[in-house]
Amino acid sequence: MDTIIGEDIRDAIKFLKLGEVIGIPTETVYGLAGNACDISAIKKIYSAKNRPNTNPLILHFASVQQIQPFVEDFPENLLKLTQKFWPGPLTILLRKSNLVPNEITANQDFVAVRIPNHVLLLSILSQLDFPLAAPSANTYGLVSPTSAKHVMQDLKGKIPFILDGGTCKNGLESTIIGLQEQKVVVYRLGAISLEELETELGYVPTIIKNINKKPLTSGMDEHHYAPKTPLHFYEKKLVNEATQNTGFIFFQEEHQEISDKNKIILSKSGSLNEAASKLYASLIEMDTRNFNAIYIERLPDEGLGKTMNDRLNRATLKFRK
């Protein structure tokens, strides 16, 4: 199959109505989207990603009104949060209605929903009479794409079309929340920080770790979000052992002792938002430089730094002996 990158949302809409799955831009990462009410489109999503079908998909809508028929209820305290964070990178687990196919939720009673904040995608969603199921548009286990080019590199030949909506503004996946005993809990750290949620809620939401063998969300999967090149956390003493075949990703510091082709600085001004928007692109870029290993500096453990460290913990775990 030929894969083309285009900028016309009419092409995107045409493919989606035909039951095809395509790459779409969001404010977080690029998604692999299909008609959430069409079982054959859902199957195409799982197979293009090579993702186990035990791992459920997020539904994307243009408005709360569109969501209502797909959920049993929308608790008031969650609805209130959406006024602050939607459209935006907040995903909410709600009890599903019969309109949601079991293939979407991996037979669970809850469905994940969000209203994304991307002008092209919102326009598409408002013109469709079905929601879009969209996981991140990467092969299962790899780094999420933040540009149309990344999607092309990974999924060329597996999907017909990628809508180019520019570089993703946030660059990290949405934060996934739900309710437990009337309190908001976080299932996956994401582009909305714990601190931002705390400001709205008046308490720090508990992060639910993977306690059972079966992860409730794949954000809880241990090996995930990893580049192909072995990735490790940077420690100062390693620099002396560095060779031409070693890549480095630093948060802010210039590290003059290392040549430019061996390093990427995420944010010279020390902005965690900027670092977040560049993190995945930097990992993907480093992968193309064919190093033997990549060392990445741990980020400050606050705000989006927590989300980035969470992803990097999982990514480096894959290469730990």
For residue 8, give the nearest of 86, 89, 120, 106 by alpha carbon: 120
Binding partner selected for residue 56 from ligand TXA, Mg ion, none, CB under the kind-specific 5 to 8 Å limit: ligand TXA
Residue 217, interface with Mg ion (CB under 5 A)?
Answer: no
- Residue 206 or 259 with smaller CB distance to ligand TXA: 206
For the CB of residue 243, give the shortest distance to ligand TXA in the complex, in Å: 34
For residue 31, give the nearest of 176, 130, 174 by alpha carbon: 174
- Residue 25 or 247 with smaller CB distance to ligand TXA: 25
- Residue 116 or 247 with smaller CB distance to ligand TXA: 116
- Residue 145 or 205 with smaller CB distance to Mg ion: 145
- Residue 33 or 265 with smaller CB distance to ligand TXA: 33
- Residue 226 or 265 with smaller CB distance to ligand TXA: 226
Residue 174, interface with Mg ion (CB under 5 A)?
Answer: no
For the CB of residue 152, give the shortest distance to ligand TXA in the complex, in Å: 16
Q: How far is CA 209 from CA 12, 54, 93, 189, in A?
A: 37, 18, 16, 11
- Residue 24 or 286 with smaller CB distance to ligand TXA: 24
Binding partner selected for residue 176 from ligand TXA, Mg ion, none, CB under the kind-specific 5 to 8 Å limit: ligand TXA
Q: How far is CA 195 from CA 29, 206, 276, in A?
A: 21, 12, 16
For the CB of residue 26, give the shortest distance to ligand TXA in the complex, in Å: 5
> Residue numbers of the site for ligand TXA (CB under 6 A)?
26, 28-29, 31, 55-58, 89, 91, 93, 105, 108, 110-112, 116, 134-136, 173-174, 176, 188, 216-219
> Whole-angstrom Cα distance, residue 304 to residue 234?
19
Binding partner selected for residue 178 from ligand TXA, Mg ion, none, CB under the kind-specific 5 to 8 Å limit: none
For the CB of residue 182, give the shortest distance to ligand TXA in the complex, in Å: 19
Q: What one-letter code names the amino acid at 245?
A: N
For the CB of residue 240, give the shortest distance to Mg ion in the complex, in Å: 36
Binding to Mg ion in span 102-141, by CB under 5 A: 136
Binding partner selected for residue 316 from Mg ion, ligand TXA, none, CB under the kind-specific 5 to 8 Å limit: none
For the CB of residue 58, give the shortest distance to Mg ion in the complex, in Å: 9
For the CB of residue 118, give the shortest distance to ligand TXA in the complex, in Å: 10
Residues near Mg ion (CB under 5 A) are 136
